Amino acid sequence: MSIVIDKNLFTLHTRGATYQMKADQWGTLLHLYYGERTDSSDKSYFVQQNDVGFSGNPYEAGQTTRRYSLDTLPQEYSCFGTGDYRITAMRVQNPDGSQAAGLRFRSGELLPGKYAIPGLPALYAQEGQGETLVLHMEDHVSGLEVELYYGVLEDLDIITRAVRIINRGTEAVTLEKAASVQLDWQWGAFDWLSLYGRHSMEQNVQRTPVRHGVQSVGSVRGISSHQYSPFLMLCEPNATENSGSCYGFSFVYSGEFLMELEKDQLEQTRLICGIHPDNFSWRLEPGDSLWLPETVMAFSAQGIGGVSRIFHRALRENLCRGVWKDKRRPILINNWEATYFDFTGDQLVSIAQAGAEMGAELFVLDDGWFGKRDEDISGLGDWVPNEEKLGCTLKELGERIQALGLDFGLWLEPEGISEDSELYRNHPDWAVEIPGRKPCLSRSQLVLDFSRSDVQDYIIGAVSKILSGAPVSYVKWDFNRAICDKFSHALPAGRQGEFAHRYVLGLYRVLEELTSRFPEVLFESCGGGGGRFDAGMLYYTPQIWGSDTTDAIERLSIQYGASLGFPISCIGSHVAAVPSHQTGRITPLNTRGSVAMFGAFGYELDPGSLSSEEKAAIRAQITFYKEHYDLIHHGDYYRLTAPDHPNCTAWEAAVPDGGTALVTAVYHRVSPNPIPVRVRVQGLRDNLWYEVSDGTGVYRASGASLRQCGLVIPAAKEEYQAWQMLLRSGGSCDED
């Protein structure tokens, strides 16, 4: 059993981890253990209670002991205002204006299968794969009930957390903070790894010690943001890529979030993860309930890489859905960096034809095909094809593309609205604006109010008409600004604090409807690049555009950081022209291809500007990618060196049985008299021989030697040179 219940003791087991909690004599739900798999015995002996000065005692316990304090105990879900002075999971405002709640354990129940969350993305279980534990907590004064959900996917090494809050009382209460997960460690020093950045420079890795006090990452931008990712790891200070205990947390949500850490006076560490409270308040009338987003948790004793590979498999197999979950994604060519807004239908067909001759399978028409849209200051919201510009209908253009043997895709930005648009002139109240104030513009545009059901219905109808009226097989769903001026004309004053979360719920409703209506269409999410790169979007779109930066060298750090918590198969990555449109850097075509093919692969350039040699090289890249698609997209991923390595960034994909591996290395610089670069190959079988094709020749080495002694990467002969080294098993070493 993955979930063991012994009276008020609850133990959860995955393949490599154990999680335990217990309701004590006062009804406090204590967190006891999360770490390497162990037995189900009661670990509450480890909770030491002492009289800690200025840490008060609950009234019922304070009558008998001063050693019992909510301010020092490890808890599963703490509340503000009743004696725990640390960061807490929930803060409520009661009808009398007080901000206090005291949750006490009431009961627990075991449910078959993995829970689902209405209107929100979450991991799902295959038939017979998961179990769910629900723990019921209640505040006896207000009648507020909190249901703590624990999903256990034992074979995936995953535990998920979610929360449902119900008002069982007779008066309305307002939630001011409602987190999805709390986790307390009673001892141990930790480093925390987070991902930070900015537009076109996303997913940088930051590793710092957890210090005394509160530290956090989050977003109040209406989206998960380029600046911080809703993902972090906690690791032992000596943990490396391949060793040491590490914990990973991925918030399955596409809006505003906060991930907080606090080391307290007793050297205990607390983690809180949930919707950002700064822009959040939610009124619960009697009988109302609110589901909170899911957090996915993983533990590994095999270091940072061990946690990453757990997340890669879980998100790829149990979060992504639909026909494109496992189906090979088409190799696309996008016209954006070839033409920007300046194109005709004939030019687009010419690009598509040249792309088809090189082996592309999908042509994507980017921004500028609709309404009055020759630059980014107008037209958003008017989702009517500009037939004068295209020289034909959208249907006819799509059919011309199909006649070349390519599928046809479109760029859309349904959440945006331009002031210079028919939609804004007809429905100014549909824009996110505060009455009486001039709005903050970004990219000369406003945001459609997706918290409104009428706006949601309009977008569902408009996009459905496009997808039904033309042979569209791919949609790039973009969102090119953060949200501010948060106000909905459809919400009363007392509920404006619900806007940001209602917006995300509206977005999810639209995406659920469209992906259900058009299951054969491949949707890719984009937020001006990586502005909405989160697990929540993967539930609807199995791939996300990694960054608006297509420079291969910049992409090394972006894709390295993203790989900490996200599978390679979900990262949109393209080969672009040189000099790079973002940096002016010139990199070899082989390097651009080697980097981009570790993702949802494609090209973003004008094939007509390429030489015959470059076109032949692209054909070879596409052939290689197709041949090794399963290895790259579904293999185990290993980071062999980091982008801050003095010489090169190297990574590896290996099939789970260790039969084949592909090592890629990109040099950062070329130097005279270079020192050889060696990397230890992972994921192979020690007792097998491997034929190593390193680009300069072929030799044989045992799996044990490649793991222990390493692989030598050939020296760079030009700036930014890349090497792809294929390792194929060739019999047992024992037979020799």
Predicted confidence (pLDDT) per residue in 171-210, tens digit: 999 999 999 999 999 999 999 999 999 999 999 999 999 9
pTM of the model: 0.97
Work out the number of other CB atoms within 10 angstroms of the CB of residue 60: 12
Query: Structure tokens of 370?
Result: 């609709």
Who contacts 40 (Cβ-Cβ below 8 Å, separation ≥6)?
4, 6, 11, 13, 18, 20
200-257 tens-digit pLDDT = 999 999 999 999 999 999 999 999 999 999 999 999 999 999 999 999 999 999 999 9
Domain 332-417+454-484+520-628 part of CATH 3.20.20.70: yes
Query: Any idea which residues carry the catalytic annotation?
Result: 534, 614
Give the single-character DSSP code of 641. Answer: S
pLDDT at 465: 98
pLDDT at 63: 82
- Note whether 3-318 and 638-735 share their fold: no
96-134 tens-digit pLDDT = 999 999 999 999 999 999 999 999 999 999 888 999 999
pLDDT at 735: 59
Query: Could you tell me whether strands 711-713 and 677-679 are parallel, antiparallel, or unpaired per DSSP bridges?
Result: antiparallel
Cβ atoms of 502 and 487 closer than 8 Å: no
Cβ atoms of 431 and 451 closer than 8 Å: no
- CA distances to 106, 471, 656, 684, 705 from 731, rounded to whole Å, are 59, 49, 17, 13, 15
pLDDT at 62: 82
Assign domain 638-735 one CATH number from 3.50.50.60, 2.40.50.140, 3.90.25.10, 2.60.40.1180.
2.60.40.1180
DSSP per residue, 181-211: EEEEESS---EEEEEE--TTS--EEEEEE--
Using a pLDDT cut of 90, give the percent of the chain over it.
96
319-365 tens-digit pLDDT = 999 999 999 999 999 999 999 999 999 999 999 999 999 999 999 99
495-521 tens-digit pLDDT = 999 999 999 999 999 999 999 999 999
Query: What are the residue boundaries of the structural domains of the chain, listed by start?
Result: 3-318, 332-417+454-484+520-628, 638-735
* Count of alpha carbons within 13 angstroms of residue 266, beta-carbon side: 23
Query: Is residue 600 predicted with pLDDT exceeding 70?
Result: yes
Mean pLDDT in the chain? 97
Helix axes 453-469, 499-517, angle to 10 degrees: 30
Mean pLDDT of 6-32: 97
Cβ atoms of 560 and 545 closer than 8 Å: no
Query: Is residue 719 predicted with pLDDT exceeding 70?
Result: yes
Query: Is residue 91 predicted with pLDDT exceeding 60?
Result: yes
Burial 480-505 (b: 16+ CB within 10 A, else e): bbbbbebbbeebeeebebbbbbbbbb
Cβ atoms of 95 and 104 closer than 8 Å: no
Using a pLDDT cut of 70, give the percent of the chain over it.
100
Structural fold of domain 3-318 = Beta-galactosidase; Chain A, domain 5 (2.70.98)
pLDDT at 126: 86
Query: Is residue 736 predicted with pLDDT exceeding 60?
Result: no
356-397 tens-digit pLDDT = 999 999 999 999 999 999 999 999 999 999 999 999 999 999
Q: What is the dihedral of CA 348, 349, 353, 354, to 10 degrees?
A: -30
606-624 tens-digit pLDDT = 998 999 999 999 999 999 9
